[in-house]
Amino acid sequence: MLTRKKVQTTVVLVFGILIMANIISNKFFFRLDFTEDQRYSLSEATKNILENLVDPVTVTAYFSEDLPPNVAKVKSDFKDLLIEYDNLSGGNVVYEFINPNENQAEETKAQQNGISPIMINVRERDQMKQQRAYLGTIVQMGERKEIIPFIQPGAAMEFALSSNIKKLSVQVKPKIVLLQGHGEAKLSTLQQLGTQLNIMYNVQELELNDTTDIPGDVKTIAIIAPKDTVLMPTLDKLDNFLAKGGNLLVALNRVEGNLQQSSGNVLNTGFAEWLNDKGIEIEDKFIVDVKCGNVMVRQQQGMFVMNTPVNFPYLPIISNFADHPISGGLEAVILPFASPITIAPKDTTVSFIPLAMTSEQSDVESAPVFFNIQKEWKTSDFKMGSLPVAVAMEGKIVGDANSKMVVFGDGDFVVNGEGQQAQQQQPDNINLMANAIDWLSDDTGLIELRTKGVSARMLDATLDDSTKTIIKYLNFLLPIIFIILYGVFRSQVKRKIRNKLKQTEYV
């Protein structure tokens, strides 16, 4: 029989257990990760960075309150991440959360520190209104600091935080150089890529001639979209660089397309023949793919002239990637006027890995080509199957030292351009190139984090509406049904135990 004293004792015990559980959870944070891609588990790279921290790191997170659930989740996920960082670093990661919307002084301070507000849509009383929201962070070590102005929902939080901590803690950044002198893309035309690389590397331009040589502290050389002929002395210096264990990235346009003139032609620079000697042949042909981007075409419709998007198979969308650190986590990359790569090994000590391939419905066209925008493409036009467009190679490429190379059958997919001609490239275009340079230059493993984000898994577009509706309701109702069934089952079990106890005769 329950007495008042027993009830009071039970209530006190329950509250005591809850308080102890909260104290323990604050001291010893952990979580189980059952996601397929382990999105909520810290990588070995992050663990190494945190365990080797000598000086404390302060993370000041400027996050607004009272945000919509999908945006507010960013704050809770980021806070969970910081708790794990604090635990793994032995207290060397200190953090605080500030609400800039609380008062004008905090908002001014956030903006002075480089955290600007964004406008988000908020539904309130059946009305949609816009609200100023802050979702930024400052990472500081001593007098140095790095700013993450905006943490996007679903973004790779761990990469942003770990890479900035490493940037602050590293004494000397590895040197990456962009080869110049043959019409290659300049650093000023690679704004997105440069922003990514500057976090981890010291990126410079290098022009080789009779009086200059490759500095001994260069980790990787990148050759992106050369247009002019390369001389043999330069190729010899690149061979010597590989022979000493250097790493090389080549993104080569074997053909070039001109939409204004509706024509495509072969581009000869001398790099293709040099690659042939190493077992890589970039063919002087255009890839066409049924899975492709589009171009805008002016069409007359009655009295109006309208721009209409038209599929253009010469802009293949690549979504077939190898399971490799360079291509892991990527979804889609557009390679304009790309060429296929043929692997013809010259040495068994060198391993070749195709990183990215076209779709199963692709083909090639030999240059010169006339681009007919109005052409109606048929399935029979794409009969060659999957074709490699990016290859990684590793081993004794030249000489006796081990080195690495990454070769792309296109050089323009990361080039933004300059001035009014500049254009934004897709994030995965930049991620693919940055991952390749990381694989060549960085041994910490941060490469795997750049594309590690939380993305929504959409229903298959080919499903009919009724099937989609059933799946949605099942996702919502099944957990509730399981809980009710468990409650009924437990109630029945307890009832049987009570009945059994009532039937028991005590002597």
Model confidence over 25-73: pLDDT tens digits? 655 555 555 555 555 677 788 888 888 888 899 999 999 888 888 788 8
How is domain 32-167 classified at the CATH fold level? Glutaredoxin (3.40.30)
pLDDT band at 125 (very low <50, low <70, confident <90, very high): low
User: Which range, of 101-105, 277-281, 451-455, averages the lowest pLDDT?
Assistant: 451-455
Q: What are phi and psi of 168, to 5 degrees?
A: -75, -30
pLDDT in tens, 313-359: 999 999 999 999 899 888 999 999 999 999 999 888 899 999 999 99
Picking from 478, 283, 292, the residue whose alpha carbon sits closest to that of residue 389 is: 283
Checking if the pLDDT of 23 tops 90, the result is: no
pLDDT band at 420 (very low <50, low <70, confident <90, very high): confident
- Residue 9's pLDDT is 77
- CATH code for the structural domain at 175-441: 3.40.50
Are 166 and 148 contacting, i.e. CB atoms less than 8 angstroms apart? Answer: no
> Domain spans of the chain?
1-30, 32-167, 175-441, 463-507
Q: Can you tell me the distance from the alpha carbon of 428 to that of 455, in angstroms, rounded to the nearest whole number?
A: 14
Sign of CA dihedral 350, 355, 358, 364: negative
Checking if the pLDDT of 155 tops 70, the result is: no
Q: Among 73-82, 203-212, 230-239, 445-454, which range has the highest average pLDDT?
A: 230-239
Checking if the pLDDT of 416 tops 80, the result is: yes
- Residue 463's pLDDT is 64
Written as one letter, the residue type at 145 is K
Q: What are phi and psi of 163, to 5 degrees?
A: -65, -35
Mean pLDDT value of segment 278-302: 88
| pTM exceeding 0.85 | no
Looking at per-residue pLDDT, the higher value among 17 and 135 belongs to: 135
181: left (phi over 0), alpha (psi -120 to 50) or beta: left
Helix (H) or strand (E) holding 459: none
Looking at per-residue pLDDT, the higher value among 54 and 204 belongs to: 204
Looking at per-residue pLDDT, the higher value among 163 and 320 belongs to: 320
Q: Can you tell me the distance from the alpha carbon of 110 to that of 134, in angstroms, rounded to the nearest whole number?
A: 9
Are 163 and 200 contacting, i.e. CB atoms less than 8 angstroms apart? Answer: yes
